[in-house]
Amino acid sequence: MSYSESEKDNFLEAVASLKKYRRAELIDENGNNLLSSLYTDLLANEQILKTCLKGNTTFIIGRKGTGKSTIFLKIQQELRKKDNNLSCYVDAKTIFESSKSEYVNGLEELKNIISNDVLQNYLIERNFIQTILSELRKEIDKRSYTLIDKIKELFGTDRSSIVREKLQKLQNSIENNELLKSIELPLLQQISTHRKNANEKTNESAFGKNSQLGGKLDLKEQSINASYSENSNSKNLQKNATEVDKQFSDIFLKVFQVKDIITQIKDILSLLNVKSLIIIVDDFSEIDDQAMRVLIDVILAPLNNWSDEFIKFKIAAYPNRVYYGKIDKSKVDIVDLDFYNLYSELDRNNMEERAIDFTRRLVEKRIKYFTEKPAEYFFDTKKEPLESYYELIFQISMNVPRIIGYILFYCCERNIVFDKPINRESLEAASQKYFERNIEHFFDNTTYSMMSFDEKISILQLKELLQQFVDSLSNTRKKIIIGEITGNQYEDVKTNPYTSHFYFKPTYEHFLKTLELNFFISKYSERSDRNSEKQSIYCLNYGLCKKENLRWGKPKGSNYRTYFISKSFDFNSLIDDFLKNSKRIICINPKCKKSFPFEELHYLEYNKMLCPECHNPVNIISNSETIQLELEKIDKSKLLPHIELSILYEINKTEKDLKPGEIAEELDCSYQLIGKRAKKLNEEKKLILRMRVEGGKVVYKLTDKAKNDYFNT
């Protein structure tokens, strides 16, 4: 096979379009939008899109790369065809990161009421809400521009000028800080006075005489500081901190007068003959828990609930990272994009067939459009049929479009550019490369991340558990090969058995959600075992299996339908033993501090996680002396925020100088955010070099200090 240079370039363009992150528009070299030609729905007849276009608030839930942003683009494209609808896009992650770096340091009046740490967090949240509202106003202004032109044609300039005037008035009301003295200060003073005595008592009992926390703190500050103190329980004050969060949310509602803003928005849009406003919120789960609650409680829930069906939301979220607040779940649509959650709702007997069908449609549409060649032109169909390649691509990617793009990109580098068609060997090699370059460093990133001590231990314990999964499956493989484990289902695969899947009770899923969210494992199915107990079947990442020499999948045929729930793959005891040894359940009441064995978790959950002795909340605490000792050895000056660590890892893994936009595309964020953080890493930390190349473009490379501190293993 010999491919022309244009065929190679076009194939690369096809797979690059799948790799794109966030709001990367699908456009050709002439600027033409390709979304109509390339959009591929996860379900036949575009059922996902049709559900999302209904007039309900919709939560679109899926892991990274499952196509949430592409669906948003398609939603907006369809909505723009209707004059009586207006859609606005809000990027929660970018706005929140900007709020953290640009919050106001002033407001001297507040400094005598709450301490600097609490003031900082309060102002970040305040700026976050203010920016969200401002961005919403800008989006309405931008999207309504063409509608105003139409109004000029129909009604003359008077009505359009009224709209402009009202938009400016709305912006002024959002940015007006005059309400600070009349509303904000009295409310904050009231909260501070009301809780002063309780705070002093909590300080004394929870932290003792040697506490590093000052007596000036309110409960919210205690929670903040405790989360960064290795000598305190970061969750002791969770309940009280949540109460204060709610009080702060109430302040924001009054300061920004959200009800008045809703009225103003409706008034403005009624002049444009707009019947409904659809607000698209991307990267909702990328902001921290506290900001997530504030966004829902102060903006999304009030706009959704108080607008008489006028305002609806389309919100992108991660599994297990969703907060609904006062949004009524029974009145919203929830669309799951991950393999099991999506297809199990439709037809559990044909889940994999439906997923492979999506893989086929996606790959064939992209290749056909960009190369004008059928997909088989780029695959070695002499060795095996094209359908088997689609099946393999599904197994590697678990139906995630972005991963499919990376896998085919690596295959292009390995095969297509050398005039070789893609085959099974190249796809499997690409799966391992993707795992090692894009997934595996998650735990290293955690080690040096600036998060709470308890969070780190909890995540790094999962690394130990994942290794136990691998070791157990490797041991099972060995025993099948040498004949220690026997059975009819192993006879045909005895020399190279399938050992990639395992099962456990659904009650354990909560503890493994971080591994699943980061693609180390994926939920594959649910079945009942021989005792008729429901079991969740999970699989290891295909690239991890390739790295560990574990064969992925199971033998074909109805005789092997129970292969995954063989006793050899029962991980219930393994997980149970791990949790007993790595977790403790403790009452947060410092006067009680009763400890409970992990076996009593089910009882405590039934009791709403309240201590039966004193009726205070109990917490599950991570417990690992080994990990704690290792973390304590780390130079604290090396700890960095997650985004800054990710920049270093991205530059290191590519082994070349990178532009801000290239890093932003890989890390799923804006290039402006990369520029700000890179400047800090350059000027303050001396970890990267910023250089200008031909054309004045800025590129980054790691310094020797960065290589030695973070990558000299």
User: Tokens at residue 603, please?
Assistant: 């009882």
Helix boundaries (H) for 500-562 = 513-517, 542-547
Q: What residues make up the domain containing 587?
A: 464-635
- Domain assignment present for residue 310? The answer is yes
- Tell which of 406, 439, 472 closes a domain: 439
Quote the tokens at residue 181. Answer: 């003295």
Q: Are residues 647 and 631 in the same domain?
A: no
Task: Evaluate whether residue 34 is within a structural domain.
Answer: no
Asked if 112 and 189 sit in the same domain, the reply is yes
The answer to whether position 570 is within a domain reads yes
In a domain, residue 533? The reply is yes
Listed residues 390, 424, 439: the one ending a domain = 439
Instruction: Tell whether 136 and 224 lie within a shared domain.
Output: yes
Residue 103 lies in a domain: yes
Tell me how far apart the alpha carbons of residues 293 and 136 are, in angstroms, rounded to a whole number: 19
List residues bridging with 522 in a β-sheet.
539
Residues with Cβ within 8 Å of residue 269, at least 6 apart in sequence = 86, 140, 144, 277, 310
Q: What is the structure's pLDDT at 135?
A: 77
Same domain, 508 and 599: yes
Residue 400 DSSP label: -
Q: Would you say residue 38 lies in a domain?
A: no
Select from 574, 379, 401, 397 the least CA-distant residue to 473: 574
Residue 289: partners with Cβ closer than 8 Å, 6 or more residues away? 323
Residue with tokens 């100088």: 657
Q: What angle do CA 44, 313, 18 make, to 5 degrees?
A: 45
Regarding whether 616 and 496 lie in a shared domain, the answer is: yes
The count of structural domains within the chain is 4
CA-to-CA distance for 22 and 376, rounded, in angstroms?
Answer: 29
Contact 88, 140 (CB under 8 A): yes
Pair (193, 327) in one structural domain: yes
* pLDDT value, residue 712: 76
In a domain, 259, yes or no: yes
| CATH number, domain with residue 656 | 1.10.10.10
For residues 402 and 38, the answer to whether their CB atoms sit within 8 Å is no
Half-sphere exposure of 641 (CA within 13 A, CB side): 13
The runs of H, that is alpha helices, within 583-703 are: 601-606, 625-632, 642-654, 660-667, 671-683
Tokens of 293: 């609650």
pLDDT of amino acid 172: 76
The strand pair at 333-336 and 618-622 is best described as: unpaired
On whether the CB atoms of residues 364 and 375 are closer than 8 A, the answer is yes
User: Does one domain contain both 558 and 656?
Assistant: no
- Asked if residue 239 and residue 114 are part of one domain, the reply reads yes
341, part of any domain: no
Whether 241 and 315 share a structural domain? yes
Please state, in angstroms and rounded to a whole number, the distance separating the CA atoms of residues 276 and 274: 6
Q: Which positions ≥6 away from 68 have C-beta within 8 Å?
A: 60, 62, 282, 316, 337
Euclidean distance between CA atoms 53 and 160, whole angstroms: 29
Regions of the chain where pLDDT drops below 70: 21-32, 101-119, 143-160, 176-183, 188-248, 713
Answer yes or no: do 564 and 702 share one domain. no
pLDDT of residue 170: 77
Domain boundary among 314, 336, 358: 336
| Same domain? 648 vs 587 | no
Predicted confidence at residue 669, as pLDDT, reads 77
Residues 659, 595 share a domain: no
